Amino acid sequence: MDSSAEQSFVGKGKSRPLKDRVLSAGHRFLLWLTRWILRLIYGERGQIVSPIRNEILLQSATSLASKIRTKKLTSVSVVQAFIDRSKEINPLLNIIVDERYEAALKDAEVADESIASGILTEQQLAEQKPFLGVPISTKDCIKVKDLLHTTGLWARRSTRADKDARAMELMRNAGAIPFALTNVSEICMWWESVNTIFGRSRNPYDTNRIVGGSSGGEGAIQAAAGSPFGLGSDIGGSIRMPAFFNGIFGHKPSRNIVSNDGQYPDIVTEEADRFLTIGPMCRYAEDLKPMLRIIADKNAAKLRLDDPVDMKQVKFFYQLDDGGGSLVSPVDQDIKDGIEKVMTYFRSTIKATVKKVQLDKLQMSAPIWFGNLKEKDEITLDVQMANMEGKINPHAELFKWFFGKSKHTFAVIMATVTDKSGVQYGTPEYNELVKLRNELLVEFTELLGDNGVFIYPTHPTVAPYHNEPLVRTLNFSYTAVINALGLPSTSVPLGLGPEELPIGLQVIGNLNQDRLCLAVASELERAFGGWVSPNA
User: Catalytic residue numbers?
Assistant: 139, 214, 238
Report cis status (omega within 30 of 0) of the bond before 326: no
Looking only at the bridges linking them, the beta strands covering 502-509 and 452-456 are antiparallel
Asked whether 202 and 93 are in contact (CB, 8 A), the reply is: yes
Contact assessment for residue 82 and residue 125, using Cβ atoms and an 8 Å cutoff? no
Phi-psi region of 351 (alpha: psi -120 to 50; beta: other; left: phi over 0): left
- CB half-sphere exposure, 258, CA atoms < 13 A: 35
DSSP alpha helices (H): ranges in 373-427? 381-384, 394-401, 410-418
Q: CA distances (Å), 82 to each of 71, 180, 187, 207, 246, in order?
A: 18, 10, 27, 21, 18
Length of the chain: 536
The DSSP symbol for 160 reads B
Cα dist from 38 to 200, 220, 334, whole Å: 16, 22, 21
State the DSSP H helix or E strand holding residue 503, giving kind and residue range, or none if neither. Answer: strand 502-509
DSSP labels, 186-254: GGG-SSS-EETTTEE--BTTBTTB---SSSHHHHHHHHTTS-SEEEEEESSSTTHHHHHHTT-EEEEPP
Give the helix/strand (H/E) hosting 256.
none
Helices (H) and strands (E) in the chain, counts: 20, 13
Phi and psi torsions of 212, nearest 5°? 90, 180
Q: How many whole angstroms separate alpha carbon 101 and alpha carbon 223?
A: 20
3-class secondary-structure state, position 263: strand
Is residue 348 reached through a cis peptide bond, with omega within 30 degrees of 0 on the bond before it?
no
CB 187 within 8 A of CB 382: no
505 - beta bridge partners? 492
Residue pair 335/457 in contact by the 8 Å Cβ criterion: yes
Amino acid at the residue 490:
T
DSSP 137-153: EEETTB--TTSB--TT-
Single-letter residue type at 2: D
By three-state DSSP, how is residue 492 classified?
strand
Helix (H, G, I), strand (E, B) or coil at 261: coil
